Structure 1
Amino acid sequence: MKGPCKTPGGNQEQEKAAAAVSGRPAGVAEAKEDSSTDSDSDLETTRVAHGLGEMVKDTHYLGSCWARGGVLPSCFLRQQSSLELNLRHRGLGPQGAQALASALTSNPHVRRLDLRDNGLCGADVEVLARALSKNSSICDVDLSENLLGPVGAQALCASLMVNQVVQKVQLAGNHLEKQAAQHLAELLLSHTSLKSLDLSYNQLSDQAGEILGPALAENTGLTQLNISWNHLRGPGAIAFAKGLEANIFLKVLDISYNGLGDSGASAVGDALKANNVLEELNMSNNRISAAGALSLGLGLRVNQTLRILVVSRNPMQSEGCFAVLKSVQDNPVSAIELLDFSNIQVNREFDDLASSMKVILPALCIKTAAHRVEYKKKLLPGSDPK
């Protein structure tokens, strides 16, 4: 099916179109009648019957598309029996959402649904959410770069609380603000099967942090959370860090590009003292100075599980990098494998400490800003060295 769907002249045209898209002869129905008169084998009869069943699904989808004036691309029919349905960048809009929702209700094949960048607003997501609540096969949903807003967030979270098969949800870049935080918090409190949640590139703000923090503390199941680029700062950052302190399931957390500041870094340091589950933490570009790095290091002195720490693009200077590295050195049970200080210039004192630690922990990887090397110009024999 290429281009917009057109209204058919009757059921016969629907069946012909469906057969053409699915790659089956238009006369497959007649083939079934001939097979009975020709006494074909049972295997052939079963094959034809299966083909008829697939045609019914295709015809149902085409009819839904025509009825709603939808613009769902033909790739839907090519993928509807696949594990992944990729419809990103297709501009589905309201009509496409309606047609897709109708088809998803009875589709038992799709495991991953990718609808990134389709111009879907809150009302469109409401329609899709109702379909998701009835679908027991989809476990991975990507709705990034759409326009969910609070209406779409509420509808989606409500459907996921009804159907807890979904384990991974991506909602990056959806203009989600503090109004959506309450619905997300309810999802974290009730959905025990959700393992991965991406909320990056939204505008949740510090007030959302105060709402999501307590929910994170009580969540039982989430192992990966990306909340980068969300203006999480001040009291909200501290409340969120307290939630991390009490959480016993989260292993990967990205809170980069938020503006936690020194107070947020100190709260995360306190969380690391108690949290012995987290393994990867990204805190890059959060306005953390040397004082904040020193507070963060207090948690690193006792933490036993953190393997990867990224604090790049922070104004902590060499003094702050040294404090973090020294805290790892002072922790005999530290699990740190990677320390990322990229885009932070360090001095010789830091280099000396890093070199000594490489002797003790040869597997430890330490990333820093590229050192500027001054090259001496080679002079030709007899030239003036001035």
Structure 2
Amino acid sequence: MRGPSKTPGEEEAQEEEAATVAGHPAGVTEDKADSDSDLETEDTRGLGEMAEAPHYSGSCWARGAGPAPCFLRQGSSPELSLRHRGLGPQGAQALASALISNPHVRRLDLRDSGLRGADVEILARAVSKNSSICDVDLSENLLGAVAAQALCASLTVNQVVQKVQLAGNHLEEQAAQHLAELLLAHTSLKSLDLSYNQLNDQAGEILGPALAENTGLTQLNISWNHLRGPGAVAFAKGLEANIFLKVLDISHNGFGDPGASAVGEALATNNVLEELSMSNNRISATGALRLGLGLRVNQTLRILVVSRNPMQSEGCFAVLKSVQDNSASAIELLDFSNIHVNREFDDLASSTKVILPALCIKTAAHRVEYKKELLPVSDPK
């Protein structure tokens, strides 16, 4: 049924409102607003593969929002990327409605899409009902504790999801309990990115025991947070008991010497971890010495990054000497970047190279290239 006729002024006002909701200013065509991102995806997805997506389009118009052209162009592609779109409430509702019935999407990229708590709750319910999505990126939005609870609950229901990125969402200790429940309940989750949030020492005390009991997670990035004091120690104790994690990034926190000591104790017991980044953690020579105690017996760690710590040459020496004294050490890379070392360290490095010729050592003076710094992140099957 055709709606009541509108004057040109009314039509113009409606078009302006729809354009604003859709994420581009009035008067700018959709092709123009999308030109930058379309150029990035044209080669991989093909603009000729246009999808009608009637359900999504109808849902958008019903809510007064224009459908995102990039959604229509991506068709049945396994990756749906709407990053930097400013979806807002109407866009989130329309997208959620379309996701429920979409069997093609495996990777959902909504990084920096202007999503807030209520929007994420709506999308979380859609994800829980979609059995094809296995990779979700909600970084650089504003989840909040309530939305984090809804998302973690939906991921617990949908055990298909294997990779989740929640970087830069202002997550605080209130969200830590929900994240801990996710670690305990979601046994299929392989990779979790919590970097650039505000998880503090209380959050560390909550997440540590959950990490100890987690079964399945192989990669965890919790860098650029506020883990320090008792929280850092509790988190490290969780690492001690974990038997699945292979890659851990705790850089740019405040572990300090107590945290470094706890990590050293964890490394003495943990026989799974392969990559550990602890750069910028206020670790002095004393903390480095205690960290080295674990390296004397650890047999699995390949990469250790402790750059930008105030451990000076003495601390670097202690870590390297521990590796040299461990005949079963698997270390391939020791990264002391931005730490100046003395001649005594250089002599130790030379003698260690005789024993471990494949060992790569980075310092402020020596920046040799290392080809295998990170394990490849396999796409969820």
Separation in 2, partners of 1:350, 1:320: 10
Contact kept, 8 Å, 1:80 with 1:110, in 2: the verdict is: no
Superposition deviation, residue 315 in structure 1: 0.2
Distance in 1 separating the partners of 2:232 and 2:284 = 16
Counterpart of 1:174 in structure 2 is: 169
Larger CA deviation: 306-315 vs 359-368? 359-368
- The whole-number CA distance in structure 2 between the counterparts of 1:192 and 1:115 is 24
Length-normalised TM-score, structure 2: 0.83
Q: 2:91 corresponds to which residue?
A: 96
Query: Would you say the 8 A contact 1:4–1:72 is kept in 2?
Result: no
Cα shift at 1:80: 3.3
Q: 1 CA distance for matches of 2:159 and 2:120?
A: 17
Q: Which of 210, 216, 221 does residue 221 from structure 1 map onto?
A: 216
Once residues 203 and 291 of structure 1 are traced to their aligned partners in structure 2, the CA distance between those partners, rounded to angstroms, is: 27
Q: Which has the larger radius of gyration?
A: 1
Deviation of the 1:71 alpha carbon: 4.1
Q: What is the identity, as a one-letter code, of the residue corresponding to 1:312? A: S
- Aligned amino acid, residue 174 of structure 1: N
| Residue equivalent to 1:314 | 309
1:332 aligns with 2:336: no
Q: Does 1:370 align with 2:365?
A: yes
Question: Displacement, 1:4?
Answer: 7.3
Distance 1:72 1:238, change over 3 A: farther
Whether contact under 8 Å (1:71, 1:92) holds in the other structure is: no
Q: Which amino acid in the other structure matches residue 352 of structure 1?
A: D
SS in 2 for 1:116: coil
Question: Bigger CA drift: 319-328 or 351-360?
Answer: 351-360
Question: Aligned-pair distance for 1:62?
Answer: 1.2
State whether residues 162 and 188 of structure 2, in contact with CA within 8 Å, keep that contact through their aligned partners in structure 1.
Answer: yes
Name the counterpart of 1:14.
Answer: none
State the shift of 1:319 in Å: 0.1
Following superposition, the deviation at residue 94 of structure 1 comes to: 0.9
- Aligned partner of 1:209 in structure 2 is 204
Aligned to 1:270: 265
When structure 1 is superposed on structure 2, of 65-74 and 215-224 the one drifting more is 65-74
List alignment gaps of at least 5 residues for structure 2. Answer: 1-14, 20-48, 367-381
Determine whether 1:113 maps to 2:108: yes
Letter in 2 for 1:273: A
How many angstroms does 1:70 deviate by? 2.2
Q: What is the aligned counterpart of 2:356 among 343, 358, 361?
A: 361
| Mapping for residues 12-161 of structure 1, pairs under 5 Å | 55=52, 58-161=53-156
CA distance in 1 between counterparts of 2:250 and 2:83 reads: 26
Which residue is equivalent to 1:164? 159
Matching residue within 268, 275, 280 for 1:280: 275
CA contact (8 A) 2:200 2:228 kept: yes
The code of the aligned residue for 1:122 comes to: G
**Alignment RMSD (CA, Å):** 1.7
Distance 1:214 1:109, change over 3 A: same
The 10-residue stretch of structure 1 (60-69 or 304-313) with the greater mean CA deviation from structure 2: 60-69
Report if aligned partners of 1:345, 1:368 keep a CA contact under 8 Å in 2: yes
Partners of 2:166 and 2:233 in 1: CA distance:
23
Aligned in 2, Cα 1:181/1:71: closer, same or farther, shift over 3 Å? farther
How far apart are the structure 2 equivalents of 1:242 and 1:143? 29
Percent identity, aligned pairs only, is: 86
C-alpha contact (below 8 Å) 2:232/2:255 kept by paired residues: yes
| Residue matched to 2:372 | none
- Contact map agreement 2:277 2:304 (CA 8 A) in 1: yes
In structure 2, C-alpha distance between the alignment counterparts of 1:236 and 1:212, rounded to whole Å: 9
TM-score by length of 1: 0.82
Q: What is the distance in 2 between the residues matched to 1:161 and 1:313? A: 37
SS in structure 1 at match of 2:357: coil
1:341 aligned to 2:336? yes
How far apart are the structure 2 equivalents of 1:101 and 1:295? 50
Q: Deviations over 1:108-138 (max 9, x none)?
A: 0011000000110110000000100000000
CA contact (8 A) 2:200 2:227 kept: yes
Distance 1:3 1:167, change over 3 A: farther
* CA deviation string 1:114-169 (max 9, x = no partner): 00001101100000001000000000000000000101100100000111100000
Deviation of 1:370 (Å): 2.4
Q: What residue number does 1:196 align with?
A: 191
Output one character per residue of 1:277-330: Cα deviation in whole Å (capped at 9) or x when no partner. Answer: 000000000000000000000000000000000000000000000000000000
How many angstroms apart in 1 are the aligned matches of 2:337 and 2:140?
28
**Contact 1:144 1:171 (C-alpha < 8 Å) held by counterparts:** yes
Distance 1:287 1:60 in 2: 53
